[in-house]
């Protein structure tokens, strides 16, 4: 957490010129980190997923969390560089799409499909934000959805999860156990909760209650009011992030603000939907709440970037006011 706060402070004061010029190097660096997830001796696979690498003296690190942020910074940098051609097919759609397809594909190959889909949603939102023609976006999105459906149908493990999700009660002792126990945790909590630390589901029956399924623990121990309060916090993050994006004074900051908002909000939506059985089970942490140092550091860094964009837009407005006043005064004379 301390490292995350320091990173957020640095990100909030970071000169955007470093991001606009350095994103190609950063993108190459995270792609190398994603490849290291498959290198023996460095990788730390878990449950068949190759999402983590190990650094001596530091511990485990999940490159996909960093890759999401860097990929969106790269898109913002690209659109800022070619902002007069964002409506074109080649430089406004194909090339930036190929740019972010590399880290997105590597994340998906790690079998971190949830993160890949979350990043894809953020990429689509950024394309829409800069004014990319819908005739480019819609067919690509439909093709991607068909490809994702084919992938899920051809993967026995993930298809079994979907079948379990469609009938949790029948699969409560198998692939649907996590989501079934999560629903029981919400039911046990009721409106008031059983008290902080008094929940029973986290003691073995609800696996990964400290990370991907921490939201049901909140519901069981603290009740409906705190679960709704948690949801409201993410709504406020979304509203503030969109407000910062709207008030941004240049295309780079606008795209970056939208991207960082998606980094914080989209995983939260997916996590809450999974734990309430609105979506099939997939491992995405709940930002700021789930256990995991990488997720917390990246989330705090995203907040720092948003704060920096807000500060720059505020300073620009403050500096612009005397100039406007001077012009009005000259006209009056």
Tokens of 54: 């190990």
45: number of Cβ within 10 Å: 14
Nearest to 19 by CA among 252, 261, 285: 252
Name the range with the highest mean pLDDT among 79-93, 106-120, 249-263: 249-263
Mean pLDDT of the residues in the chain: 85
Lowest mean pLDDT across 25-34, 50-59, 151-160: 50-59
- Is the pLDDT at 46 greater than 80? The verdict is no
The domain ranges of the chain are 2-332
Q: What is the pLDDT confidence band of residue 324, given thresholds at 50, 70 and 90? A: very low
C-alpha distances out from residue 154 to 151, 157, 216, Å? 5, 9, 30
239 DSSP assignment: H
Nearest partner of 119 among 293, 264, 287, 276, judged by Cα: 264
Residue 240 scores a pLDDT above 60: yes
pLDDT at 330 over 70: no
Residue pair 188/194 in contact (Cβ under 8 Å)? The answer is yes
* Residue 47 pLDDT grade (very low, low, confident, very high; cuts 50, 70, 90): low
- Could you report the per-residue pLDDT of 59-107, keeping only the tens digit for each? 788 888 899 999 999 999 999 888 888 888 888 899 999 999 999 999 9
Distance of CA 228 to the CA centre of its chain: 20
Measured distance CA(67)–CA(303) in Å, rounded = 16
Q: What is the rounded (10 degree) CA torsion for 308, 312, 313, 316?
A: 170
* Cα–Cα dist 201/304, whole Å: 35
CA distances from 203 to 193, 210, 260 (A): 16, 10, 34
The band of 166, judged by pLDDT with boundaries at 50, 70 and 90, is: confident
pLDDT at 1 over 80: no
The separation between CA 8 and the C-alpha centre of its own chain, rounded to angstroms, equals 16
Q: How far apart are CA 36 and CA 44, in angstroms?
A: 10
């Amino acid at each position: 957490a301390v490292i995350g706060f320091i990173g957020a402070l640095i990100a909030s004061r970071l000169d955007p010129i470093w991001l606009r010029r350095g994103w190609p190097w950063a993108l190459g660096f995270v792609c190398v980190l994603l490849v290291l997830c498959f290198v023996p001796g460095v990788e730390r696979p878990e449950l068949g997923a190759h999402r983590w690498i190990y650094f001596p003296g530091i511990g485990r690190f999940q490159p996909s969390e960093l890759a999401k942020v860097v990929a969106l910074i790269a898109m913002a940098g690209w659109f800022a560089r070619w902002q007069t051609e964002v409506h074109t097919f080649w430089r406004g759609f194909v090339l930036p799409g190929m740019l972010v397809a590399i880290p997105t594909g590597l994340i998906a190959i790690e079998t971190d499909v949830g993160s890949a889909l979350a990043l894809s949603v953020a990429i689509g939102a950024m394309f829409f934000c800069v004014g990319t023609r819908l005739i480019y976006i819609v067919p690509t999105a439909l093709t991607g959805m068909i490809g994702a459906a084919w992938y899920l149908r051809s993967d026995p493990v993930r298809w079994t999860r979907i079948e379990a999700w469609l009938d949790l009660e029948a699969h409560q002792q198998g692939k649907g156990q996590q989501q079934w126990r999560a629903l029981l945790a919400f039911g046990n909590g009721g409106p008031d909760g059983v008290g902080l630390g008094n929940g029973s589901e986290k003691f073995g029956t609800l696996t990964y209650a400290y990370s991907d399924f921490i939201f049901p623990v909140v519901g069981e121990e603290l009740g409906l009011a705190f679960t709704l309060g948690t949801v409201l916090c993410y709504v406020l993050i979304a509203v503030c992030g969109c407000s910062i994006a709207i008030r941004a004074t240049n295309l780079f900051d606008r795209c970056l603000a939208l991207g960082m908002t998606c980094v914080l909000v989209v995983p939260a939506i997916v996590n809450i939907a999974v734990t309430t059985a609105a979506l099939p089970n997939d491992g995405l942490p709940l930002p700021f709440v789930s256990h995991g140092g990488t997720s917390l550091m990246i989330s705090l860094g995203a907040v720092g970037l948003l704060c920096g964009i807000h500060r720059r837009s505020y300073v620009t407005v403050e500096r612009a006011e005397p100039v406007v006043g001077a012009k009005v005064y000259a006209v009056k004379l």
